[in-house]
Each structure stands twice: as structure tokens, then as C-alpha cells.
Amino acid sequence: MKRFARILSVALVVTLLSAILAGCANSGNGSGGAVTASPASIESTATPEPETPARTDKLVVYTPNSDDLLNATIPLFEEMYGVEVEIIQGGAGELLARIDAEKGSPYGDVIYGGGESIFTQYRDCLEDYVSPNDSQVNEKFRNVAGFCTNYVIEAPVIIYNTDLIGDIEIKGYMDLLNPDLKGKIAAADPSASSSALFQVENMIAAFGGFESEKGWQDSWDYISKLITNIDGKVASGSSAVWKSVADGEMIVGLTYEEAAFNLVRDGAPVQIVYPEEGTFFSPTPVAIIKNGPNNENAKLFVDFLISKEGQEAIAAMGSSRPVRDDVQLHESIAPNSEIYSVTVDEAYMYTIVDTIKETYQDLFADLFPG
């Protein structure tokens, strides 16, 4: 009690002394008693600093990716950062439409997988973010768009069931017009599936459609014939394509490398073909959903995917091409130099994505009305 009394006494003296000094300052020379604002009063009127978003322990991931890629990356991320990840799977188009519907109150935090061309359609739903690790990515595949962080390089491929193919030879796109394959080709809707859109874009590139008017017409002449041979059968999404070939429901499928390599690794009776007409390699991005509830963890996840640890985990699967040059390509995957490739002005291609999708849909509707 005595110690408390001594402290109180000192405080009282200081208070009285302050009051006396303030009174003297106000009376001054009788010039109106101007009052100088104290530091405390200045501080109280200043604009407060914006608060850093609170770190949570959760992350919601929307993804069209296969279980194999998710199993290679998600548990490692959870372990490294102590974050619990909720995964919601679906087609890229379906998930982006959901993100658009939820943009007033987002449930998800990132869209993990798809394509820049389809992401661009929902640009207003995705947040600008360039990871500090982006400088370690191969210069060709860095985040120049500002919102798409590329974490793997993909190529479209044709797969066929080796138990069902018989004497049919598959070396490229033209072989898919074989009448013996009618109704036995698995393909998804490019307006809903990023891998299906990737295939259509590759067909246009392979037939010179991005280079000349004649090439554009040749490309759509081919695609029209292919739609006819597909016989109006459209898979519900990317995964339905490769699953139907592996399960023997379809003989041939139009898919992408990662899914195809996973099938081969798991022992499915599947052969992978790079179209002899040409293949273009394109990166697959991850993007942050604008105003997502776990924004800080979303940024951590993007950083992780292109970190050395994340890229090594992806490469170790043996089904994807890393975007970092300091991470070695798995021995089971052919180097880019061994595949006949075509170059594409992707920046231009992204500006005509709507035209590509609408042209495909119009062709399909004309060939299979109703």
C-alpha cells in the first residue's frame, strides 16, 4: 500500500505541475491564449494505419487437377505451413463460373489449375499477385499477366486404349477422322473444360490457323470433321475423358500430359501420342480469388507451388514439367526438344478465346442440333 501511495503522490505532483505550466502558457502576454495541440491530440486525429489481414489456419482450393497432383502438393503445403486445406474439385469452367457467382462473398481462396485463356474470361474475379519466387521461374513462363502464376508446363496429347485400338494407327490429329473411331473418341466441351479448349487451340495452331486466313479455315474444316466423328458425344469434363479411355468405354481421348502420364504410371492400358502435326507447350496457372477469406494463405500457397520444394514435389510425380530450370525433369518424360512443337502468339490467342469457343459451339450446334 505504501509503494502504491508513493506512486500516486508522484503522479499527482506531475499532474498539478502540468496544469500550472499550461495555465501560464495560456495567459502568456494576453495575446488571445492560443493553445498548442499536444502530441496526444495530434495522434488521435491521424488516419490509422491499415491493418494487416489476420493469418488464418485454413485454405479453400478450387481445382480441376487430378488427385495425383493434389496428393503431391497439398499435404506438403499443409505440413510446411500448418494450414488445413479444403479441396473442391470440378472442371475449370465450372469452378470459374462458381467463383463468378460467389464474388460478392467468396468461399474459395485459389483456383489451382486451368489455363490463362480461360482465366482471362473471369479476370475481374481474380486478384493481382506476383510471387517473390516468380523471378526463379523460366523467363518464358513468368507471371507477365499479373494474376496468373504458372507452376507447370503442359502439352495436349492424344491417348488410346492399347487393348481396344486393334490395327488402327494413331500418330496425329488426322488419324482421328478414321471412320472406325466414330463415336469412340472422348472429348470435352471447350467452353467448360480448360484441357478441351487447349486441344482446340492446339489444333488451330497445328493447322496454321493463327498465321493466315487459309490456316484458320483449314483448322475449322478439320475440327468440323472431328466433331462429326465424335458423333455428338461430349464428356462432362477433363477427368471424364481420360477415365473413359482407361476404363475401356472409349478407344481414344483428347487430354493433357499430366493426366496421361498418371494413367501410364498406374498401369492403365494407355499409350500417349504427341500429334505429328505439332504441339505447343503452354503453362498451367494458379490464381488467387479476389477477396477470398484466407488471402494470406492463398499467397503462401502460390509462393509454395513455384518454390524449389514445391517444384521438386511436382517433378517427382513423373507426370508434369516444372517451370523452374533448377528443378530436373523426371526421367520418364521426354524433353521438349524431342517433341515436334509449334509456336503460338499466346497473347494474341487469349484475345480471341471467345471467338474460338463460339465458333466451336456454332459448328457443334449445326452438326448436332438440339
Q: Are residues 354 and 237 in the same domain?
A: yes
Q: Are residues 93 and 163 in the same domain?
A: no
Burial 58-88 (b: 16+ CB within 10 A, else e): ebbbbbbbbebbbebbbeebeeebebebeee
Confidence at residue 152, expressed as pLDDT on a 0 to 100 scale: 96
pLDDT tens-digit map of 84-121: 999 999 988 899 999 999 999 999 999 999 888 889 98
Q: Are residues 190 and 255 in the same domain?
A: yes
pLDDT tens-digit map of 209-218: 999 999 999 9
The answer to whether residue 120 sits within a structural domain is: yes
The answer to whether residue 4 sits within a structural domain is: no
**DSSP structure class, residue 276:** T
pLDDT at 3 over 90: no
3-state secondary structure of 321: strand
Confidence at residue 11, expressed as pLDDT on a 0 to 100 scale: 39
Confidence at residue 238, expressed as pLDDT on a 0 to 100 scale: 86
Neighbours of 145 (CB within 10 A): 19
The answer to whether residue 342 sits within a structural domain is: no
Q: Are residues 84 and 188 in the same domain?
A: no
Rounded-to-integer distance, Cα 111 and Cα 129, Å: 13
Q: Are residues 123 and 232 in the same domain?
A: no
Q: Are residues 190 and 268 in the same domain?
A: yes
pLDDT tens-digit map of 320-343: 999 999 999 999 899 988 999 998
- For the chain, what is the domain count? 2
The answer to whether residue 171 sits within a structural domain is: yes
Where does the pLDDT of residue 49 fall: very low under 50, low under 70, confident under 90, or very high at 90 and above? low
Neighbours of 215 (CB within 10 A): 16
Confidence at residue 14, expressed as pLDDT on a 0 to 100 scale: 36
Q: Are residues 137 and 215 in the same domain?
A: no
Q: Residue 198, exposed/middle/buried by CB under 10 A (0-12, 13-18, 19+)?
A: buried
pLDDT at 20 over 90: no
Residue with the three cell numbers 469434363: 237
pLDDT at 29 over 70: no
Q: Are residues 244 and 355 in the same domain?
A: yes
pLDDT at 2 over 70: no
Q: Are residues 126 and 272 in the same domain?
A: no
Least reliable range by pLDDT among 27-36, 117-126, 220-229? 27-36
Average pLDDT, the chain: 87
The answer to whether residue 1 sits within a structural domain is: no
The answer to whether residue 316 sits within a structural domain is: yes
pLDDT tens-digit map of 171-201: 999 999 999 999 999 999 998 888 899 999 9
Q: Are residues 316 and 296 in the same domain?
A: yes
Q: Are residues 86 and 165 in the same domain?
A: no
Mean pLDDT for 5-34 is 37
Q: What is the pTM of this model?
A: 0.75
3-state secondary structure of 51: coil
The answer to whether residue 48 sits within a structural domain is: no
Confidence at residue 115, expressed as pLDDT on a 0 to 100 scale: 86
pLDDT at 5 over 80: no
Where does the pLDDT of residue 23 fall: very low under 50, low under 70, confident under 90, or very high at 90 and above? very low
Confidence at residue 52, expressed as pLDDT on a 0 to 100 scale: 52
Rounded-to-integer distance, Cα 299 and Cα 273, Å: 36
Which tops the pLDDT comparison, 22 or 169? 169
Structural domain boundaries, residue 317: 58-154+281-332
**The three three-digit cell numbers of residue 3, written as one number:** 509503494
The torsion angle over the Cα atoms of residues 138, 144, 146 and 152, rounded to 10 degrees, is -40
The answer to whether residue 355 sits within a structural domain is: yes
CATH of the domain at 129: 3.40.190.10
Rounded to whole angstroms, the maximal C-alpha distance in the chain is 110
Q: Are residues 258 and 355 in the same domain?
A: yes
Confidence at residue 205, expressed as pLDDT on a 0 to 100 scale: 96
Confidence at residue 54, expressed as pLDDT on a 0 to 100 scale: 64
